[in-house]
Amino acid sequence: MDVPFTAAPSPIGRRDPHVPPRSLVLNGQTFGIYDRLVMAIINRTPDSFYDAGATFADEPALLAADAAVAAGAHILDVGGVKAGPGKAVSTREEISRTAEFIAALHERHPKLIISVDTWRAEVADVACTAGASLINDAWGGVEPDIFAVAASHSVGIVCTHAGGQQPRTRPHRVAYPDVMADVLQRTLALAEQAEHSGVNPQSIIIDPGHDFGLNTRQSLEVTRRLDEMVDTGWPVLVSLSRKDFVGETLDIPVPIDRLTGTLAATSIATWLGARVFRVHDVPATRQTVDMVDAIRGLRQPSVNRRGLA
């Protein structure tokens, strides 16, 4: 028999009601607290868990980027190393997979926000020189110099909960007295470290890190309690797309079949206040987010003819 969920809200992240949520500034653009940004994933790896290298070569990757922009993506997230275990990738190889491609994207879409998905400060430095305006550090500041890199280039950074895991490792029997308290403690400490390093506070994003340092039940809990992260005032990013917690929850082992579960989780995250969505499926995500915001009363219908004729 399932035990009812009884987790109480953590007091760590509760926002002072007199302090408003932060707007978000990336690549010279300001986004308000109800703006939703879709971050399209462009994997520059031959062994991606989702597409198995479909965008490893330059031409398919550029076509995928163009399609994502046409579908409404605000951010392109370029990664040169598979998140999970696999063949070792040197810093030099990661740079070769990402930097020139980022430069090409920046030339092609100069107003677009280009993100580099890396935990390595050296890679982030080269990528920002090439045109990246956001560093997506999914491993929780394992290289602390990455904050100084973000500050030196005046770019944004994503501060992610990884539970203290080393890059490219999977969690094994991880346990937290209160998982959201741990998420808040670690991400807020990273955000504070970024701010003290000179990163513009309006360019700092926090991420609960679904599947990173979390098992499936823990990922479900942080989704359910996402409003506690939103209440800190920092913009919240969620990376839900096709992940293992979706697959295990619904017993769907193949990532390509996990879209429905992903969109259900996206709906909840939108309702609870997430502002950035890292995804494989831009059109479906855009429609899901827009529909939830229309139900909440945050946007008007695109067309309003019914009952008026």
Residues whose CB is less than 8 angstroms from the CB of residue 83 and which lie 6 or more positions away in sequence, other chains included:
49, 138, 168, 212
Question: Is CATH 3.20.20.20 the right assignment for the domain spanning 24-296?
Answer: yes
d(CA 309, CA 211): 49
Task: Please check whether residue 288 is in contact with residue 270, taking contact to mean a CB–CB distance below 8 angstroms.
Answer: yes
In the prediction, which pLDDT does 4 show? 44
114 forms beta bridges with 76
More confident residue, 269 or 14: 269
pLDDT at 244 over 70: yes
The alpha carbon dihedral of 264, 39, 124, 234 has a sign of negative
Average pLDDT over residues 62-84: 96
Give, for 127, the enclosing helix (H) or strand (E): helix 121-130
pTM for this structure? 0.93
d(CA 151, CA 133): 11
pLDDT at 53 over 90: no
pLDDT above 90: percentage of residues in the chain? 90
Average pLDDT over residues 111-120: 97
In the prediction, which pLDDT does 42 show? 97
Residue type, 187: T
Place of tokens 């915001």: 293
In the prediction, which pLDDT does 102 show? 98
pLDDT digits (tens, 9 = 90+) for 292-302: 999 999 999 99
273 torsion bin: left (phi>0), alpha (psi -120 to 50), beta (else): left
Average pLDDT over residues 280-295: 98
Residue type, 164: G
